[in-house]
Amino acid sequence: MAILQSANLALRFFLELAALAAFGYWGFKTGDSAIMKWGLGIGAPLLAAVFWGTFESPRAVVKLSASLRLILELAERGSG
């Protein structure tokens, strides 16, 4: 069972890295000028990481109520 838990944690970690890479790719492809491309390419993954660390991580600074956390998780899954 410990092997499956470790594999699950590793998969979640790599999926989170892939999501950050996708935000960066989106940012670099979306911007019209070079400044916008760099701003979105670096800013979008940075903003996503800060949001996750503040509200969703296991050691989140701001603890959300169970209902608000459920709504947030459903919104994330629905947008993908």
User: Which has more pLDDT, 10 or 64?
Assistant: 10
- What is the rounded average pLDDT of the residues 3-31? 92
Q: 73 to each of 28, 55, 77, how far by Cα in Å?
A: 26, 11, 6
The pLDDT tens digits for 28-67 are 999 899 999 999 999 999 999 998 888 888 888 888 888 8
Nearest to 20 by CA among 39, 47, 38: 47
